[in-house]
Amino acid sequence: MKLEDLKIIITGGAQGMGRHFALRLAEAGAQVAVGDVNEVGLAETLEASSRSGAKGKVHARRLDVSSEADVAAFVSWAHGAMGGLNALVNNAGILRDGLLVKKDRETGAVKTLSKEQWDAVIGVNLTGATLITRDVVAKMLETNQRPGVIVNISSVARHGNRGQSNYTAAKAALAANTVTWSREFAPFGVRVGAVAPGMIETPMTQGMNQKARDALVAAIPVGRIGLPEDIWLAVKFVLECDYFDGRTIDVDGGLSM
């Protein structure tokens, strides 16, 4: 699909990669609806779009992807705000890292990953992506919109990463469902692809433990942390290449976790 023809939702659009995708798409002529729980960040995304010369191309509204009612209302609003809907980038994600089970070296106390940590990550990173994919594709069918395209933002962590049972489970499931959904939605003219970033410079990674961050960067063969623009290039490919479907692209600088 041509970027200028897109009427696209981006979740997690208040900062980081989501904001970068929104600005790039708007600059290319797309209509973009961004959602996030961070309303201050959403306002900043709108302001940035105006400064970049894409005023009126970006629409923003609060969105909690883990809420079924919120998702339904957002999809309906986005369709009206943009005058249609033919694409989605599932970018919203959070981290609540922790070992599944650990033992304190000094006290011997055994601690476990809480159900709250598990539920929070699965709720946003997997359930949220599933709910909004379902409702976006349903809206496309209701309005006889085709073609359409969905881009899931997975992660190199889907291969397994210490201390990220919840995040790994969610991102692995997104990659697997990229295949599932591509097969289910093919009769409707909707493609589904995924991009799996490695370590990218975003507010999320900037909040990491510095020692862990330094060790990860040192393990990246290309010798640097990734930038949102690196991931945008892959997202752009998935959006534009009508022969790409049901696959996940790793964009990780060669990093293996």
Residues catalogued as catalytic: 167
User: Residue 39: how many CA atoms within 13 Å on its side-chain side?
Assistant: 2
Q: Which two tokens stand for residue 116?
A: 């709250």
Other CB atoms within a 10 A radius of the CB of residue 87 amount to: 27
Q: Which two tokens stand for residue 254?
A: 């060669």
Burial classification of residue 242, based on how many CB atoms lie within 10 Å of its CB (0-12 exposed, 13-18 middle, 19 or more buried): exposed
**What's the Rg (C-alpha) of the chain?**
18
In which residue are the tokens 């210490």 written?
162
Strand partners, 256: none
- Checking 113-116 for CB contacts under 8 A at 24+ apart, the result is 113/165, 113/166
